[in-house]
């Protein structure tokens, strides 16, 4: 009889521990996942279907071995595998801009092959999203677009393999930053949930 109760207590304790640890795990996981959006998660806001990151963001590497002797691995944006043509949506509301020739106004945003540049609305510092290697643009400079708007089609301009290169740039320190451009932007994007494509204005 005593044996029976001991055994029962053992399982009760064990179950309590399991509940405790799993609750703690999901609590911590929930908090940390709210802080940063993964590159795959972010890709879902831009492209339809299965998201594959072919080249992740890398802004620094410590050792020569890590950085590569022959190839420079540093990458200012994220590359997503994308068939041509695939519709690309803007993850943020903003204004379509372009580097002004002869001006340094958008200097870090050098015009690159098939680029669409969106200046994010509502940021304290000028913030930009760049979409490269596009085959077609449905927006023009000066257009004000809403998040979820289809801005163009993927392509392979300036690259061998068709893919979408997305870059987030902060103007002032001329630096590309990822994966948390600003918590406000990430929160805005997350809170929007499933964005439905809307027509460009």
Choose between 83 and 190: whose C-beta lies nearer to Zn ion: 83
Q: How far is the CB of 73 from Zn ion (least distance, A)?
A: 11
Choose between 79 and 123: whose C-beta lies nearer to Zn ion: 79
Q: How far is the CB of 71 from Zn ion (least distance, A)?
A: 13
Distance in angstroms (rounded) separating the CA atoms of residues 16 and 22:
10
Residue 172: HSE in the Cβ half-sphere, 13 Å Cα cutoff: 4
Q: How far is the CB of 82 from Zn ion (least distance, A)?
A: 12
Nearest alpha carbon to residue 120 among 105, 109, 134, 130:
130
Residue 64: HSE in the Cβ half-sphere, 13 Å Cα cutoff: 2
Choose between 115 and 185: whose C-beta lies nearer to Zn ion: 115
What is the binding site for Zn ion (CB under 5 A)?
79, 165
Distance in angstroms (rounded) separating the CA atoms of residues 111 and 117:
9
Q: How far is the CB of 179 from Zn ion (least distance, A)?
A: 15
Choose between 55 and 121: whose C-beta lies nearer to Zn ion: 55
| Contact criterion met (CB below 8 Å) for 80 and 44 | no
């Amino acid at each position: 009889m005593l044996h029976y109760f001991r055994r029962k207590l053992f399982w009760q304790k064990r179950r309590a521990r399991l509940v405790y640890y799993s609750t703690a795990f999901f609590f911590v996981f929930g908090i940390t996942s709210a802080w940063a959006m993964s590159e795959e998660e972010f890709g879902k806001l831009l492209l339809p279907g299965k998201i594959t990151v072919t080249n992740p963001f890398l802004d620094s590497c410590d050792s020569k071995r890590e950085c590569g002797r022959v190839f420079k691995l540093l990458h200012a944006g994220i590359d997503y595998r994308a068939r041509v043509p695939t519709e690309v949506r803007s993850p943020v509301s903003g204004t379509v801009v372009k580097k002004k020739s002869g001006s340094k106004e958008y200097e870090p945003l050098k015009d690159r092959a098939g680029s669409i540049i969106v200046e994010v609305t509502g940021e304290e510092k000028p913030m930009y999203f760049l979409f490269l290697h596009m085959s077609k643009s449905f927006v023009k400079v000066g257009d004000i677009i809403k998040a979820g708007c289809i801005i163009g089609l993927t392509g392979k301009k300036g690259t061998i393999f068709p893919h979408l290169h997305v870059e987030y740039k902060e103007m002032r320190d001329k630096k590309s930053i990822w994966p948390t451009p600003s918590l406000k932007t990430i929160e805005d994007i997350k809170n929007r949930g499933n964005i439905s494509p809307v027509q460009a204005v």
